[in-house]
Every structure is written in C-alpha cells, then in structure tokens.
Amino acid sequence: MATKKTKIVCTMGPACEDDEVLRKLIRCGMNVARFNFSHGTHESQRAMMERVRRISAELDIPVAIMLDTKGPEVRTGLLECGRTGRVTLEAGAEVVVTTDDDVLGTAERFSLDYKNLPRELEPGATILIDDGLIELTVIRIEGNDIHCRVINGGELGEHKGVNIPGVEVGLPSVTEQDRKDITFGCELGIDAIAASFIRSAAAVGEIRAILAEHGANHIKVFPKIESVLGVTNFDEILAASDGIMVARGDLGVEVPPAQVPHLQKMIISKCNDAYKTVITATQMLNSMIENPRPTRAEITDVANAIYDGTDCVMLSGETASGKYPVEAVKTMADICIETEKYLPERTVYRERGGLKNVNGSTGYAAVFMAEQVDAKAILCPTHTGRTARLISEYRSQLPVYATSPSEQAIRDCCFFWGVEAHLTVEQGSLQSTIYHSLQVAKELGLVETGDIVVITAGDPQTSPRMGDYSTSTNMALIAQVQ
C-alpha cells in the first residue's frame, strides 16, 4: 500500500473535537495538529491538545503540535446590530472609520481597535477588511476619524481582520498576548510555533528569548510570511528560523494576489536550499468546507506546492470548522501520493560550506549510496532529527526511517518530507545503535532478511568540530539485514 511522503497539517476546531473524527484524521494522514490562538480559550486549547496527545498515543502514530500565534492584529469593532448582524457598505459611499472604541458601528461610521492608525495613514491609503472582501480608500483624516470612500462594498461584521497594504503598522511583532500564549504552549509541551506577521529576524529572536526563559529551546519556530516587510526581509528571517510557513491568505491581501504564486515558489526554493522546513498554507481545499469534493483547481494547487518542494501542506477551515474534515484529509493524502510518483530526485549536490556541512554531506552520500546499491531503505538513527531532515531534502523515492529514543525527535520528524519515525530505546554504543535500528526496522516489517539498507550514524570520537559547533552525523554505511 502506497504511503504519502508530504506531511499534512490539520487545524483543530469544532469539526474535529469528537474522538472518533480525530482518530480518522490521524489514520488518514494527519501529521501535525495546528492550534490557532486567534480563536478559543486556553482551557479549550488545553483540552484539545490533551485529546490529540492521548489519541496519538493510543494509535501509536506520532503527531506534532503547532501553536499558531494571534500576532499583531487590527480588527473591526462592535456593531449597532450586534455580533450576529451585518452592516452593508455600498460601493461609492463615504464612510467614517474611527478609533473611538465607544462607537457602535453602522453603514456610515464604524470603529477599528488600533488607536494610532489615524497617525500612520495618509490620504490615498487602502484599507482592506475581511481578507480584502471590502476595500476602502482614505480621503482625509480628522482627529480619530478616517474618512474613506468604499471601493468594493460588502457585508461588514464585528471583529473582522483589517489589512493596510504598504503601511507598517506600529504594533509589535510579538504582542503581550502572544507572550502569554507561548508561555502556555511551553507548559503544555508544544513542538512548534507558527509565528504570525513576522517582519524581521529580531522578532524571531524575541520568540526564542521567550522559549529560553522556559527551558524550551527545542521548540521549532516557523515564521509566517504574510506581509510586504516579511517578503523584503525574508532572507534574514529564514536564517533566524527553523522553517517558514507560506501564509497565502494575508500575504495575498498585503501584496497583489497575482504575485503570490511567484512568492510561494521563491520561499519554498530558498527553504529547500537552506535545508529548512516549509509549510504551504491557506485555501488549499477550501471548497471542502462545504462540499465533499474539491475543485480541480484546488487539486492542482496542492500538487503544484508539492512539485515546488513543500514539506507540508496545510488544511485550515477544512478540518477546523468544515462539514467534511475526514474527507479533506483523505483527499489531500491521495493528491500527495499521486503527485509524489512524479517528483524528480534532487541529485545535484548544493554546496553549503565547510565543516558546518558535514551532516548535509553525509545525508547526500547516504542517498547516493542507496541509489547505487538499490537499497530497500535508508535508516537514520538520531537523537535530534537533524540528519533525517537533511536526507529528506534530497526527495529520494526510497523510504527513510528515523529511529530515536527521543519522543521530541520523533515528533520533529512529523514536519520532514518522506521521513517515517519510530521510537526506540537508548543504546550504549555506536555499534549497538546501528544493530538496534536494523532490528527495529525488521520487527516493524519495514525491511526483511537479506535486504540491503544504508544507515547513517555519528561517532562522537571522530565528528569534526568548529568552535562551539560539532556535527552529530559523520558516517553512512551499507548493511544487509540478518
């Protein structure tokens, strides 16, 4: 039976609160559970995280947990018609947008929750509301009132997201609420953070400092690229990060939507070159929120992200609030399996420089050796998962099995393309580690007696060192299963 190599991130929500639905999602191919901290309470998030951990353990299928921060947001205020009501903004009409928070919104006047906005805008600026469905142009500014012309009308609701393309809003990249949420996530043992609206490497550093305060340096940080500044400063952000999320929703509001396909390819390519995880997100199977089958365009979108080189594809509303969460995961897994049949292997070595590339060189050698001897699989005993990540970057069609005594390393591998991870017990020597990985693979039915495999390993006595940096994997060897 074919298994997918691309990893699937599923957003948690009301549609998957039932234990049986969650079991089906995991069995169908969910590798990462995403928790969107723009919604819900700490109590509800805690209950769902504990449910994911429990069912993952019951099924003996590893699932990583990723906390998605709320980030710096500007949102619409309260309306006169209430939370469930809507105000119709007509194209061509003039409307006053105010930062006075005691205003109950109408079609003539409504509020936003960012006090400094009038001082950061100029006439001619564009205000986009609700993912760009409503577009306003600033005419003039008087005190706290921003007079606007409605360019594209629509139904205005409470607490809808607001974007101002081309304007660097003065909100901090990491808000006080983000700090509280990250601290909460550390207490619950999350595996990764998807950091919203990151605009610089300094913001990544802020998050890492929070993690360090709580002894949680192992938690991976994946900035979400969803603004012009995020694109402009992408190289420095990538260098400071463990990976990147291509957050196409807000990105397609902040920049012209026609630029998003190119930016997606650029971001994925640079992440691949840096051997860092990349997640492609937003509206991948969006129609399946309401329908049991996706559009052909959505199928093509998922496939093209895989062809581009993404490690993970993500479902948002499809699994959080959609009518067909299980079908969405099944469909995405089917697309992954079919597309992966036609992926070219990356056989061209990319120079990464000096001793810092020992792990990468060993990973490349392992893939090359496995191809030359027609190996059944590549085995990767690991304590950190780093070498498994490097091997995955070459997109070998061979199975890559990581074995580790570290549950954290096993969950980290949930983000790595083509890596299947299995928990083992700690071994006392290099030789016993190699032998044990072979035995585990055989017991699990991954390999059989007589199969040729390639194994990566690390000898701490001979691993090169450069300053404070030491490599962990410096060997690749060919073995036969006994």
Q: How far apart are CA 213 and CA 196, in angstroms?
A: 21
Domain count, the chain: 3
* Per-residue pLDDT band at 338 (split at 50, 70, 90): very high
Residue 349 domain-assigned (yes or no): no
Q: Determine contact, residues 482/373, Cβ cutoff 8 Å.
A: no
Report the CATH number at residue 100: 2.40.33.10
pLDDT digits (tens, 9 = 90+) for 142-154: 999 999 999 999 9
Q: Report the C-alpha gap between 437 and 422 in whole angstroms.
A: 10
Q: What is the DSSP string of 261-282?
A: HHHHHHHHHHHHHTT-EEEEES
3-state helix, strand, coil in the chain (%, to 5): 40, 25, 40
In three-state form (DSSP H/G/I as H, E/B as E, the rest C), the secondary structure along 21-48 is HHHHHHHHCEEEEEEECCCCCHHHHHHH
| Higher pLDDT, residue 343 or 463 | 343
Task: List 452's β-bridge partners, or say none.
Answer: 480
Q: Is residue 221 one of the residues assigned to a domain?
A: yes
pLDDT at 78 over 90: yes
pLDDT, residue 355, reads: 41
Asked if residue 320 and residue 398 are part of one domain, the reply reads no
319 Cα distance to chain centroid: 15
Picking from 305, 340, 375, the residue at the C-terminal end of a domain is 340
Does some domain include residue 254?
yes
Rg (CA), the chain: 24
Q: Which of 5, 7, 34, 220 is catalytic?
A: 34
- Residue 352's pLDDT is 47
Please tell me the least confidently modeled range out of 17-21, 82-86, 147-151, 247-251.
82-86
Model pLDDT for residues 280-330, shown as the tens digit of each residue: 999 999 999 999 999 999 999 999 999 999 999 999 999 999 999 999 999
Angle at 305 between CA 23 and CA 275, to 5 degrees: 90
| Residue 386 annotated in active site | no
Question: Can you tell me the distance from the alpha carbon of 299 to that of 310, in angstroms, rounded to the nearest whole number?
Answer: 15
Res 272: pLDDT: 92
| Contact between 186 and 214 (Cβ < 8 Å) | yes
**In which element (H, E) is residue 441 found?**
helix 430-443
pLDDT value, residue 84: 78
Find where tokens 């897994």 sit: 333
Residue 372: partners with Cβ closer than 8 Å, 6 or more residues away: none
Looking at residue 167, its pLDDT comes to 84
Say yes or no: 230 and 321 in one domain. yes
pLDDT at residue 350, rounded to an integer: 52
H/E stretch holding 181 reads helix 176-188
Which one is catalytic: 4, 7, 199, 224?
A: 224
- What local confidence, expressed as pLDDT, does residue 144 receive? 96
In 3D space, the residue among 320, 326, 224 whose CA is nearest the CA of residue 279 turns out to be: 224
CATH number at residue 285: 3.20.20.60
Q: Which residue has the tokens 């990060």?
A: 241
Q: How confident is the model at residue 386 (pLDDT cuts 50, 70, 90)?
A: confident
Q: Which residues pair with 150 in a beta bridge?
A: 136
Question: Which tens digit of pLDDT belongs to each residue from 415-463?
Answer: 999 999 999 998 888 889 899 999 999 999 999 999 999 999 877 777 7
Identify the band that residue 85 occupies on the pLDDT scale cut at 50, 70 and 90: confident
Element (H, E) at 238: helix 234-239
Confidence at 1, pLDDT banded by 50, 70, 90: low
Give SS3 for 67.
strand
Question: Which of helix, strand or coil describes residue 349?
Answer: coil
The alpha helices in 214-341, defined as continuous H runs, are 228-232, 234-239, 248-254, 260-273, 296-308, 317-320, 325-340
State the virtual CA torsion across 81, 84, 88, 94 in degrees, nearest 10.
Answer: 60
Q: Is residue 350 part of a domain?
A: no
The residue written with tokens 């998922």 in the block is 302
**pLDDT-derived band at 100, boundaries 50, 70, 90:** very high
Active site residue 442: no
- pLDDT at residue 457 in the model: 84
The reply to whether 453 falls in a domain is yes
- Whether residues 48 and 98 share a domain: the answer is no
Is the same domain home to 401 and 297?
A: no
Q: Could you confirm whether 126 is annotated as catalytic?
A: no
Instruction: Tell me what pLDDT residue 51 has.
Output: 98
Of 144, 163, 182, the position where a domain reaches its end is 163
**Residue 193 and residue 145 in one domain:** no
- Indicate whether 62 and 90 sit together in one domain: no
Task: Please name which of 393, 418, 363 lies closest in space to residue 275, comparing C-alpha atoms.
Answer: 393
Q: Which of 384, 391, 482, 469 is nearest to 442 (CA)?
A: 482
- Judge if 224 and 262 occupy the same domain: yes
Residues 87 and 35 placed together within one structural domain of the fold? no
- Residues 257 and 142 grouped into a single domain: no
Containing H/E element for 358?
Answer: helix 358-372
Mean pLDDT of the chain: 93
Closest CA to 345 of 400, 385, 386: 400
Residues 413 and 461 in one domain: yes
Element (H, E) at 403: strand 400-404
Domain range for 306: 7-71+173-340
Question: Could you tell me if 390 and 275 lie in one domain?
Answer: no
* Of 189, 184, 182, 191, nearest in space to 409 by CA: 191
Kindly tell me the burial class for residue 39, based on how many C-beta atoms sit within 10 Å of its own C-beta (0-12, 13-18, 19 or more): middle
Show the CA angle centred on residue 241, arms to residues 235 and 245, nearest 5°. Answer: 85
Residue 165: its pLDDT value, please? 87
pLDDT in tens, 164-220: 988 878 889 899 999 999 999 999 999 999 999 999 999 999 999 999 999 999 999
- Catalytic annotation present for 75: yes
**198 in the same domain as 50:** yes
The half-sphere exposure of 55 on its side-chain side, counting CA atoms within 13 A, is 23
In a domain, 296, yes or no: yes
Last residue of a domain, one of 138, 163, 188: 163
